[in-house]
Structure 1
């Protein structure tokens, strides 16, 4: 449950509007069939009284701890987990993109991994849909480390009250960044100055030349996931795969191929 909490001076930093908007988005996505109809539980968005929105609890854990053993060693279980999480997240994004919505906040803490390895998207407060921009709190980005280069550039070029509309390729960059981070243990961008503040990190992302070499930080070789991450992190949004294409391409068994066995053994 999310609830509005006013500050001591009576202000709530737009949380009322955010909660109202998330409730509205969840209702719309449920009606469109883009999310599980049991996910959105209830909401109170009108005064008097506190505003709140509630969603169904998802058993499991956040993505970072869920992928901990996949950062340790190459096992069939680790491969299956990485593949299942990726396929199910891509499938969820494909449903959103099909109705002209983007999640706009794909990141490890907004993903729940169930005990059977299904990745579930959470937190639709920042979702961008086909609507009048004036009807929402302006989107000014989400977690910096999973911000696509084109979004980073637009955030830097516009004022803090200007809405930046995200498109599906930005979700795909964020998915690639999230997979990179949770599998390797390293953020995808090597910032010039980690203490330089958000603007400096956004500039490094927008420049597009600070991506870490996945081959240098991967815990083990998994060609299918490596190729997918590289494709999602393409600087050109049009070069990134669609969510539907990712879900389809990985929707098959993940046994280690002979070529990958040869690479790992050095032959």
Structure 2
């Protein structure tokens, strides 16, 4: 057994057999109630430790339902985060990306949106920034409670500074203001997120998951489109599709929430 994995199991007092998280994972496992990751690569270790400590602190302060742990063996690092039941927002919204969704879908999604904004406000009031809000980093639990997960880019004064400057999360959830900063500052400059930036990113994630289309531009990085092109699209709105043209069906309350956070 990987000595880092063995050390994690011993520290966590887990006797269950560990299993890879997916068939593609060679350094991430599910064991008991924990998701365990290991690495001996310094850059990866810095991100894993940052996330595990962020989760531990959030849990200790009543802001996250899962706990986090971490440890070292020589030059290697293991981290563990408690497993949470549910599906990510993208998969949860799959039934709603059709013209005629289940009757309860719209009110449930609207409730989730209200809860997500309230949860984000609680994080901000306690001095936290998530740093990477996107449809795949919002878990919807069996009671329709949204939980923000994947805290590699989370900011808080109680955390050690990140290994490198913060330069945004997933490209398509980037806000126009952050896009402008990324375009006009060198790579070593740390981007400072405001609560308004994160509310915008959350609204973009909700729109993205509901409509199935990217929220700020129709283009993706690829042949003929650079990352700077994409950021310029976001900063200027030159390829933005109005929500009324992208939505699968009208939802006035949800649309108002999204509009309020993105304008």
Change (3 A) 1:223 1:74: farther
Provide the rounded CA distance (Å) in 1 between the counterparts of 2:245 and 2:204: 16
Provide the rounded CA distance (Å) in 1 between the counterparts of 2:257 and 2:207: 10
* 1:124 equivalent in alignment to 2:151: yes
Q: Give the secondary-structure state (helix, strand or coil) at the position aligned to 1:154.
A: helix
Q: What are the residue-to-residue correspondences of 1:27-38 with 2, within 5 Å? A: 27-36=56-65
Change (3 A) 1:42 1:5: closer
1:136-170 deviation digits (Å, cap 9, x = unpaired):
43211110000111111111222222221212111
Provide the rounded CA distance (Å) in 1 between the counterparts of 2:184 and 2:62: 35
Match of 2:247 in 1: 218
Please tell me the root mean square deviation across aligned C-alpha atoms, in Å. Answer: 2.3
Preserved contact between residue 52 and residue 81 of structure 2 (Cα < 8 Å): no
Match of 2:23 in 1: none
1:228-259 deviation digits (Å, cap 9, x = unpaired):
1112222xxxxxxxxxxxxxxxxxxxxxxxxx
Match of 1:170 in 2: 197
Provide the rounded CA distance (Å) in 1 between the counterparts of 2:203 and 2:235: 16
Aligned-pair CA distance for 1:125: 1.1
Question: Which structure: greater strand fraction?
Answer: 2
- Residue segments in structure 1 that go unaligned for 5+ positions in a row: 7-11, 235-267
Q: Give the secondary-structure state (helix, strand or coil) at the position aligned to 2:49.
A: helix
Aligned residues: 226
Provide the rounded CA distance (Å) in 1 between the counterparts of 2:42 and 2:136: 22
1:176-228 deviation digits (Å, cap 9, x = unpaired):
11111111111112246753122211111112343211111211111000111
Provide the rounded CA distance (Å) in 2 between the counterparts of 1:57 and 1:129: 23
Q: RCO (CA 8 Å, sep 6+): is it higher in 1 or 2?
A: 1
Aligned-pair CA distance for 1:74: 4.5
Provide the rounded CA distance (Å) in 2 between the counterparts of 1:77 and 1:193: 33
**Could you tell me which of 96, 117, 136 is aligned with 1:70?**
96
Change (3 A) 1:134 1:90: closer
Change (3 A) 1:193 1:77: closer
**Could you tell me which of 115, 137, 160 is aligned with 2:142?**
115
Q: Give the secondary-structure state (helix, strand or coil) at the position aligned to 1:14.
A: helix
207-216 or 138-147: which moved more? Answer: 207-216
Provide the rounded CA distance (Å) in 1 between the counterparts of 2:234 and 2:179: 7
* 1:61 equivalent in alignment to 2:87: yes
Match of 1:144 in 2: 171
- Residue segments in structure 2 that go unaligned for 5+ positions in a row: 1-34
Change (3 A) 1:120 1:201: same
Change (3 A) 1:65 1:71: same
Aligned-pair CA distance for 1:101: 1.0
Change (3 A) 1:193 1:185: closer
Provide the rounded CA distance (Å) in 2 between the counterparts of 1:206 and 1:4: 38
